Structure 1
Amino acid sequence: MFERKLCSLHTWNEFGEVAAMALTSTDRVAQVVILDHLAVRASRRGSGLGRACVETIRTWAETSEACRAIIIEVEAEPTAENAERIRFWEKAGFLQTDYVHRYIWVPETYRAMYLPIVPAFKPNDTGKSLFKIITKYHEKAYRNRE
């Protein structure tokens, strides 16, 4: 992924150690940034670092070429852990879509969320179009399909 320049690695360091990291990819055609992964060290969760990371990525995306939104996928099953993750993203400004996506290679279902960079950004469907963008990225990044 990195050699093919399909994604960017973002890290946040504290006291000489990585406290958080994220992987993003920019789809210049769709004009979105895909936030593929965000991880915060367990000892730093609940401290506001995750939200600060999202804000840094948002600022970075705003300076990207014509970025209209940041999109993510979240697990859709109604569990307490998934609800907590969704609350995190909502507090960071992300909006849920209704469409539930089922990948053929994993058992979990997923829902897209988006953070508008351009205030007028909104998918023109229930979120299925966002999964076309996410799936295109996954196929390039993880399955070596162009």
Structure 2
Amino acid sequence: MEFITTHQWDADLWQKTRDIYNVAFGEHATKPERIIRNMLARGLSTLHVLMENDMVLAMALTGSMPNSSVLLLDYLAVRKNMRGHGIGKDFFDYIKEWARAQHQYNRILVEVECDDIPENHARIHFWERCGFHLLDDYKHCYKWGPQHYMAMVLYLKSKPSTPLKGKDCLMYMASFHKESYKLN
């Protein structure tokens, strides 16, 4: 298996990755390709890919605002027929170690759908197995969808003396998403 991390647009790599992204998140939850290209060009995002024999097994988009110590896990997906075999956890472990090696990041944030359905419980459990913790019970709903989200955090270094608040973290994520959609 080969882990690839790139800060630049690679049309061939995206072509191999796009289906996993679209299947996992659906038409309404994905960013358009031109936005992803722009995010990479502006230094807001990084594309991570796990490949085997020229086939993408997993993909992730991470992001960060300029000069930030927070890495956002914007998307992470595993090829549908490969789920349930530990690939997602192994892939995330790679991303976590990559983030640690960057030295600027103190924590990783992820927002999770939290409406009371089995799929959301399974996602939250997955992130907990990866070392994330729900911050509190604050829930956020974006204007483009009915789903509610909560923030989860994984500390790469020591825990801050002042506890993080879910509302603040979700507002940071919303700012990142807003910045992501700005075109040059």
Q: Report the CA distance between 1:123 and its aligned residue.
A: 6.6
Pairwise CA distance, 1:16 = 1.7
Deviations 1:59-109 (A, max 9, x none): 111112421100000001010000011111000100012211121222111
1-structure distance, mates of 2:60, 2:118: 23
The one-letter amino acid of 2:149's match is Y
Q: 1:131 aligns with which of 157, 165, 170?
A: 170
Residues in 1 aligned to 2:176 and 2:153: alpha-carbon distance in whole angstroms: 16
Q: 1:90 aligns with which of 107, 128, 137?
A: 128
Question: Counterparts of 1:99-138 in structure 2 under 5 Å?
Answer: 99-121=138-160, 124-138=163-177
- Partner of residue 60, structure 2: 22
Partner of 1:51: 89
Larger radius of gyration: 2
Deviations, residues 11-33 of structure 1 (Å, cap 9, x unaligned): 00012200000000123544110
Question: Hey, what's the Cα distance between the residues in 1 that align with 2:40 and 2:105?
Answer: 21
- Equivalenced residue count is 145
Residues 44, 66 of structure 2: 8 Å contact kept: no
Q: Which one has the bigger helix percentage?
A: 2
Alignment partners' CA distance in 2, 1:65 and 1:139: 26
- The match for 2:106 among 49, 64, 68 is 68
- Mapped partners of 1:110, 1:93: distance in 2: 18
Distance 2:161 2:120 in 1: 23
Conserved 8 A contact 1:27-1:34: no
**Normalised TM-score (structure 2):** 0.73
Q: Secondary structure at the match of 1:104?
A: coil
- State percent identity of aligned pairs: 36
Letter matched to residue 4 of structure 1 = R
Higher strand share: 1
Contact 2:47 2:61 in 1 (8 A): yes
